[in-house]
Amino acid sequence: MSELNCTAPVDKLPKQESPTPNNNAMPLSIITQTDTRDKWSKKMDFLLSVIGFAVDLGNVWRFPYICYQNGGGAFLIPYTIMAIFGGVPLFYMELALGQFHRMGAIPIWKRICPIFKGIGFAICIIALYVSFYYNTIIAWALFYFYSSFTETLPWTNCDNPWNTPNCTNYFGKSNITWSNYSKSPAEEFYTRKVLGIHEADGLDDVGGLRWQLLFCLFIIFTIVYFSLWKGVKTSGKVVWVTATLPYVVLLILLIRGATLPGAWRGILFYLRPKWEKLTDTTVWVDAAAQIFFSLGPGFGVLLALSSYNPFHNNCYRDALITSAVNCLTSFVSGFVIFTVLGYMAEMRGVEVEDVAKDKGPSLLFITYPEAIANMMGSTFFAIIFFLMMITLGLDSTFGGLEAIITAVMDEYPHILSKRREWFVLGLVIVCFTGSLSTLTHGGAYVVKLLEQYGAGCPIIAVVFLEAIAVSWFYGIQRFSNDVKSMLGFAPGIFWKICWVAISPAFLAFIIVSSLMNQPPLALFDYQYPEWTTSVGFLIGASSFIWIPVYMVYKLVWTPGSLKERLAVCVRPEKTMRDQQLDSMCMASEP
C-alpha cells in the first residue's frame, strides 16, 4: 500500500488500490472518489478568462485619462509601485485561495474564517449592482456598432432629425465660430439619439424606456446566457474570441493612429512627465485606485475562475503573467487614444489638452467616434472599434456573473448542482430586470450613480476585510503552507509582508482618501441633487451591511460562552472531507 499523506488535501491523496481492512476506518472509496467539479478544458481557457475579466472598458479610457491628468510619464512611477506592493499581491492571493479551497466567494469562508462569510454575500450584491449598469454600457456600444454599417457615419454631420440648431461641425474647418452652446455632431448623436437624455428631467423624472437600447441589452444578455449556461467548458471557448479580438483591434487602431497627422502631438502630451505631480497625494490615490480596479481583486471573479483549476496549477506564474498583460494593455491603450486625440488637435488647430477634456464613457462615445468619423475608411474603423468595446465588456460580464453563479451554487449544491441552466437563466433575468432603469431617457444618470456608489468604496472595503481575514485570522503561515502544498514552494518574504501589512495599508489608504474626497456628482450639464448622496450611501450600505449582519448571526447561533463562540467563529470549519481524512489518518496509525 502507498504511504498515506495526512497533510495533503483529500482530493489529492494517492489512490489506495489494495486497502487493508479496518473496521474503524472510513471506506477509502469515499476518499478517493473522482472530483465531479468542473475543470477548465485547457490552461489557456483559464488565462484568457482572467485576462478578459481584468482587461475591460476601463483600460481603454480610464488609464489614459488618469495618466495625463496625473503627470503623464511621471504617473507610471506611482502606478508601478502600487501595482507591485498592492495590486499584484492581492491578485495572487485570490488566485491561490480559489485554487486551494476550490469554492466560490460565499462557502470559501467556512474554510478560512467563518465569521467573515458575509463578505461572500456582499461580493454577490456588488456584482449584481455592477451588472445593472455595466451591461447597459455594452448595449450603447452595440447600438453604435449597428449604426456604423452605413457609408456615412450618422455622427458625422448636423443634417439628422435629432440634431439641434446648436449642432456645429467644425472638424477640419477654420472659419467656424464655436460658442458655449455649440455641440458637436458626435455629442448630439450620443446624448440625443442613443441616450435620449434631453427627454428626461434628471433623476426626479427619468422618462420612459428607450426601446432600441432594450433590444440591444436583450441581445447582450442572450449572448451572456449561452456563454455561461454550461459552465467553464463553454465560457472557456467563448473567451478565445472575446479576449483575443480586442488585441487585434487595438493593434490595427494603433497602426492607423500612428499614421495620422498630428499623432506625435498626442503621444508627447500623453508621455511628457510632470515630475512636480509626484508630490501631490491625489496622484498616489489615483494610482492606487486605478491599479485596484484594473486588476479586480475582491469581485469574487478570481476566486471563482481559479477554483476550476487543477490543484497543482502554478497560480503564482499565472498571477504575474495576467497582471503584467493587464497593466501593459492599459499603457498601450493610451497610445491608441492619444494618437487620435493628437490628430483631432491638429485638425482643429488647438492644443491636445483642449480635446482631451472628456473622460469616462464620453471619451469612448463622443471624442473617439468623432475622430474616427473624419478618417479615411471611417466605417471600417468604427465597426471594429465598437466591436472591440463589446468584446471587452462581455469578458468582464462573464467574470462578474460567474462569480455569483459559482458562489451560490457552491453554497447550495444540493439544490443547484443539477440545475445550473435554470439558475443562470434566473440570474440573467434578474440582471436584465435590474437594468431597466438604466435604459430610460435618463438612464445615463442612473448608470453614473450606480457606478459611483454601487461598486466604489464598498468593494474596496470588502477586499480590505478579506486581506485582514486571510492574513491575520486564517494566518499567513497557514496560507503559505496551502500555497506550498499546491506549488511545491512557499511564498517568499516579500509576498508575506505585502499580505500582512502593505496590501491592507494600500487598501486603507484608498478608502480613507475616497471618503475624504467625495466631489458632487455631475453628468453633462446636470448636477445631481443632494438627496442622491443619501441614496448612493444606502446603495453602498446595502451590500456592505451583510458583513456585520452575518457576524452577529454567527455569534448568536453558535453555542457556548462568548469566548467559546468567538473561538469557533474564527476557526476554519471541518468539512466532511476533512473528517474522512482524519479518520483515515487515525486508522493508519500503528
476 domain-assigned: yes
The H-or-E segment that residue 424 falls in is helix 420-434
Q: Which helix (H) or strand (E) holds 522?
A: strand 522-523
Residue 21 lies in a domain: no
Q: In degrees to the nearest 10, what's the CA dihedral of 347, 352, 354, 355?
A: 60
Residue 479, in any domain of the structure: yes
Is 326 a known ligand-binding residue? yes
Helix H, strand E, coil C: the string for 439-453 is HECCHHHHHHHHHHH
Q: Could you tell me the residue range of the domain that residue 526 belongs to?
A: 37-557
**Residue whose C-alpha is closest to residue 88's, from 270, 291, 392:** 291
Question: How do the pLDDT tens digits run along the chain, 590 residues long?
Answer: 334 444 444 444 443 333 334 444 333 333 333 357 888 988 999 999 999 998 888 888 888 888 888 888 899 999 999 899 989 999 999 999 999 999 999 999 999 999 999 999 999 999 999 999 999 999 999 999 999 999 889 998 888 899 988 888 765 555 566 666 778 899 899 999 999 998 998 898 898 999 999 999 999 999 999 999 988 888 888 999 999 999 999 999 999 999 999 999 999 988 889 898 888 888 888 888 888 888 888 899 999 999 999 999 999 999 999 999 999 998 999 899 889 889 888 877 778 887 777 666 788 898 889 888 888 889 999 999 999 999 999 999 999 999 999 999 999 998 988 889 999 999 999 999 999 999 999 999 999 999 888 887 888 889 999 999 999 999 999 999 999 999 999 999 999 999 999 999 988 888 888 777 777 888 888 899 989 989 999 999 999 999 999 999 999 999 988 889 999 999 998 765 555 545 555 555 55
Identify whether 95 is part of a domain. Answer: yes
Any domain includes 485: yes
What pLDDT, on the 0 to 100 scale, is given for residue 114?
Answer: 94
For residue 54, say whether it is annotated as part of any ligand binding site: yes
Residue 564 lies in a domain: no
What does the buried/exposed string (b/e) look like for 423-441 if buried means 16 or more CB atoms within 10 Å of the residue's CB? Answer: bbeebbeebbebbebbbbb
CATH number, domain containing residue 166: 1.20.1740.10
Cα torsion angle, 198, 200, 203, 206, sign: negative
Q: What is the pLDDT of residue 5?
A: 45
Do the beta carbons of residue 310 and residue 102 sit within 8 Å? Answer: no
The whole-angstrom separation of Cα 2 and Cα 557 is: 43
DSSP line for 49-94: HHHHHHS-HHHHHHHHHHHHHTTGGGGHHHHHHHIIIIIHHHHHHH
Joined together, the cell numbers standing for residue 567 give 473561538
Taking the C-alpha atoms of residue 544 and residue 408, their distance in angstroms, rounded to an integer, is 18
What pLDDT sits at residue 2?
Answer: 37
Q: What is the domain count for the chain?
A: 1
- Within 359-505, strands assigned E span none
C-alpha distances in angstroms, 256 versus 147, 350, 446, 505?
22, 21, 35, 42
Q: Please check if 395 is assigned to a binding site.
A: yes
Distance CA 581, CA 301 (A): 30
User: Quick check: is 382 in a domain?
Assistant: yes
Q: Residue 22: which of 506, 586, 559, 547 has the closest Cα?
A: 586
Long-range contacts of 562-568 (CB under 8 A, 24+ apart): 568/114
3-state secondary structure of 261: coil
26's grid cell: 472510513
What pLDDT score was predicted for residue 251?
93
Is residue 476 classed as helix, strand or coil in its secondary structure? helix
Q: Is residue 175 part of a domain?
A: yes
| Distances from the Cα of 121 to the Cα of 129, 187, 404, 549, angstroms | 13, 40, 9, 11
Place of cell 448612493: 536
